[in-house]
């Protein structure tokens, strides 16, 4: 089911944080604390810019948005935020 995809991605990221393997996400999260957070934040800034450019140029908006959301999820996992906290906040805002 498509609505399960975010939860699955989140679980993979948590697993790679807790049980590192040879992967992009594990490498980032295993850096020193400041360096890891800086790398993730830099990537979020880069991806946000790419979303803006993609929107203005009417091309690749879905792909660039997926990159931005992925790196935002990576930051939340790195910072120890549970996915349900994020989903609860969306639910609160919906009400």
Contact residues for 12 (Cβ-Cβ < 8 A; gap 6+): 25
- Cα 77 from Cα 75, distance rounded (Å): 5
pLDDT the model gives residue 82: 97
CATH topology of domain 2-85: Helix Hairpins (1.10.287)
Please determine, for residue 34, whether its predicted confidence score (pLDDT) is greater than 90.
no
Dihedral sign, Cα of residue 92, residue 69, residue 60, residue 43: positive
pLDDT the model gives residue 2: 79
Confidence of residue 9 (pLDDT cuts 50, 70, 90): very high
Q: Which of 36, 70, 12 is nearest to 20 (CA)?
A: 12
pLDDT the model gives residue 20: 96
- Cα 64 from Cα 49, distance rounded (Å): 9
Ordered by start, the domain boundaries in the chain are 2-85
Confidence of residue 58 (pLDDT cuts 50, 70, 90): very high
pLDDT the model gives residue 15: 97
Please determine, for residue 88, whether its predicted confidence score (pLDDT) is greater than 80.
yes
Phi, psi dihedrals of residue 83, rounded to the nearest 5°: -60, -40
């Amino acid at each position: 089911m498509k609505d399960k995809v975010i939860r699955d991605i989140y679980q993979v990221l948590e697993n790679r944080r807790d049980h590192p393997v040879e992967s992009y996400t594990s490498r980032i999260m295993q850096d020193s604390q400041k360096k890891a957070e800086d790398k993730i934040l830099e990537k979020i800034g880069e991806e946000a810019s790419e979303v803006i450019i993609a929107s203005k140029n009417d091309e690749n908006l879905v792909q660039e948005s997926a990159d931005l959301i992925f790196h935002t999820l990576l930051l939340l996992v790195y910072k120890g935020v549970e996915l349900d906290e994020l989903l609860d906040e969306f639910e609160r805002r919906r009400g």
